[in-house]
């Protein structure tokens, strides 16, 4: 069964870190609609003043952060002594687990462009306090396949036909694809029934519902007097799908490029404050108390 659109969200301008301007595709207000995912930020910019302040030292516990760069660079380091840089096409999959204190400082390319995405994925209660780990995934290890009619897919994790992505053994069984469809294209992709599935459009526009009916689903974040409601989904919009076993995307005169993400819901309570996501308020209290008294990082 082809998945229909459940809801479309329009990303919202937000300022995070020490003054980074970005667009939030979804976040706290959408929990638990996209369980096991918590947040997706689009931080593309051509203005260094809007990204150079970066994300100075801050803690994380109980989640995974997935950073995918398109332009520029992100220098990172943490309290455990890890450090490095990810550039265009690279991915960092960081499992915070029991806790890390780290920083992420974006840098532009020669033209001043910097951009990419950061996705937060929740961890189940059984893995909240696991040992932290990093997976810096170089773009050279991310397979890109070409389907008929010029459809291109970068497989970060998951599987397309016989091609698997380099990120494996993640408890929420996620799939993350970067999909490009030229004009006049048809993209069909199997997804697991019961899994949360969403698409975030960041170039062009396309049809994410076979029926092409813009009134068959709810649109969140539009102005009350916006009567230009179209069934084509464009840049900066996030599509939440209903259940089913296949995603279908169509293009006509324009190309489209989007992230297609899916994962197994946890079905657990979420207690979330800032960069810490646990299951109970008591666990949050303990995390912040440990951060204040210097016992946040576990050996």
0.75 surpassed by pTM: yes
Per-residue exposure over 205-244, b if at least 16 CB sit within 10 Å of its own CB, e if not = bbbbbeeeebeebebeeeeeeeeeeebbbebbbbbbbeeb
Q: Is the dihedral of CA 207, 209, 211, 217 positive or negative?
A: negative
Q: What is the DSSP string of 30-90?
A: GTTTTTTEEEEEE--BS-GGGTTT-EEEEEEBSEEEEEEEEESEEEEEETTS-EEEE-TT-
**Measured distance CA(277)–CA(123) in Å, rounded:** 9
Q: Which pLDDT score, from 0 to 100, does residue 148 have?
A: 92
Q: Which pLDDT score, from 0 to 100, does residue 138 have?
A: 96
CB neighbours of 33 closer than 8 A, spacing ≥ 6?
7, 26, 196, 240
Classified as helix, coil or strand, 128 is coil
Q: Which pLDDT score, from 0 to 100, does residue 228 have?
A: 65
Q: Which pLDDT score, from 0 to 100, does residue 225 have?
A: 53
pLDDT (tens, 9 = 90+) of the chain, 299 residues, equals 999 999 999 999 999 999 999 999 999 999 999 999 999 999 999 999 999 999 999 999 999 999 999 999 999 998 888 889 999 999 999 999 999 999 999 999 999 999 999 999 999 999 999 999 988 999 999 999 999 999 999 999 999 999 999 999 899 999 999 999 999 999 999 999 999 999 999 999 999 988 888 778 888 866 555 566 678 999 999 999 999 999 999 999 999 999 999 999 999 999 999 999 999 999 999 999 999 999 999 97
Is CATH 2.60.120.10 correct for 5-293?
yes
Ordered by start, the domain boundaries in the chain are 5-293
């Amino acid at each position: 069964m082809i998945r229909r659109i459940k809801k479309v969200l329009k990303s919202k301008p937000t300022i995070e870190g020490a003054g980074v301007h970005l667009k939030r595709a979804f976040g706290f207000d959408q929990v638990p609609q996209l369980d096991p995912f918590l947040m997706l930020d689009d931080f593309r910019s051509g203005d260094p003043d809007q990204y150079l302040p970066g994300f100075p030292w801050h803690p994380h516990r109980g989640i995974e952060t997935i950073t995918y760069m398109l332009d520029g660079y992100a220098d990172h380091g943490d309290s455990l002594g890890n450090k490095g840089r990810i550039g265009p096409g690279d991915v960092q999959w960081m499992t915070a687990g029991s806790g890390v204190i780290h920083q992420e400082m974006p840098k532009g390319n020669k033209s001043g462009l910097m951009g990419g995405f950061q996705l937060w994925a929740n961890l189940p209660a059984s893995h909240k306090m696991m040992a932290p780990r990093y997976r810096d995934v170089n773009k050279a290890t991310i397979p890109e396949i070409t389907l008929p009619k010029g459809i291109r897919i970068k497989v970060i994790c998951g599987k397309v036909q016989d091609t698997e992505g380099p990120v494996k053994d993640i408890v929420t069984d996620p799939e993350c694809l970067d999909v490009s469809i030229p004009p006049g294209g048809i993209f069909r992709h199997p997804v697991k029934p019961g899994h949360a599935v969403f698409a975030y459009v960041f170039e062009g526009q396309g049809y994410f519902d076979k029926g092409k009916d813009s009134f068959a689903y709810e649109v969140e974040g539009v102005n009350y007097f916006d009567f230009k409601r179209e069934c084509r989904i464009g840049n900066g919009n996030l599509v939440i799908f209903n259940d089913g076993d296949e995603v279908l995307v169509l293009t006509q005169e324009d190309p489209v490029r989007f992230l297609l993400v899916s994962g197994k819901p946890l079905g657990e309570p979420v207690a979330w404050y800032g960069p810490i996501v646990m299951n109970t308020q008591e666990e949050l209290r303990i995390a912040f108390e440990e951060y204040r008294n210097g016992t946040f990082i576990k050996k």
